[in-house]
Amino acid sequence: MKELQEKILKEGTAINETVLKVDGFLNHQVDPFLMQRIGEEFADYFKNRGITKVFTIESSGIAPAVMAAIKLDVPMVILKKQQSKILNGEVYQTKVTSFTKGTSYELTLSKKYIDKDDKILLIDDFLANGEAAQGGIRLIEEAGATVSGIGIVIEKSFQPGRKKLDDRGFDVYSLARISRLAKGVIEFVE
């Protein structure tokens, strides 16, 4: 998505070879109009998959996910990051290690908000090692539902997440694909 690439070049900061900061429009302040166009782009790409719900991971996936959900005319569900296990049988949980923080959390989904017939579009802000996305996939599959697509706003293609998801046969649509980061350098996949 050309507009997103231009925004990343203009406002993003590569703080080292692995981390891109986009606090000005995605992770802290949000550009709602850009998010709307991002949501429309995801919705357009996945429109013929019979999507019944859009899932995302709190918190930076929420803005693009809700915009896609509006366009697809389906509910949006936030997978929550809990500090510890909940042992009441009403939730699905799986452990995920955070790329940016190096800590882990229990990704949590109430059984009330998923059904085995659901076809889920999973959206997240970044794809790095693929831990968060694979955690979301585990929860969806544990419920017996189907992952019908994965939408990523910014993929760091030089990290292993994309390949892991491709190898498992998922349809991953990333709106910006970064091939290299270095202090002050941001390059995209051709």
Alpha carbon distance 69, 76 (integer Å) = 6
Q: Are 162 and 130 in contact (CB under 8 A)?
A: yes
* 125 counts as binding ligand 5GP under rule CB under 6 A: yes
The token pair that represents 85 in the structure block: 């296990």
* 42 counts as binding ligand 5GP under rule CB under 6 A: no
Q: What single string gives the DSSP state of each residue in 99-156?
A: TTTS-EEEEEEEGGG--TT-EEEEEEEEESSSHHHHHHHHHHHHTT-EEEEEEEEEEE
Q: Is 130 annotated as a binding residue?
A: yes
Alpha carbon distance 61, 117 (integer Å) = 23
Q: Which of 29, 82, 100, 103 binds ligand 5GP (CB under 6 A)?
A: 100
Q: Which of 46, 68, 126, 149 binds ligand 5GP (CB under 6 A)?
A: 126
Q: Which of 5, 13, 27, 94 binds ligand 5GP (CB under 6 A)?
A: 27
Beta carbon of residue 34, minimum distance to ligand 5GP (angstroms, whole number): 15
Beta carbon of residue 12, minimum distance to ligand 5GP (angstroms, whole number): 9
Q: Are 53 and 74 in contact (CB under 8 A)?
A: yes
* 67 counts as binding ligand 5GP under rule CB under 6 A: no
* 99 counts as binding ligand 5GP under rule CB under 6 A: yes
Residues interacting with ligand 5GP, by CB under 6 A?
19-21, 27, 57, 60, 99-100, 124-133, 161
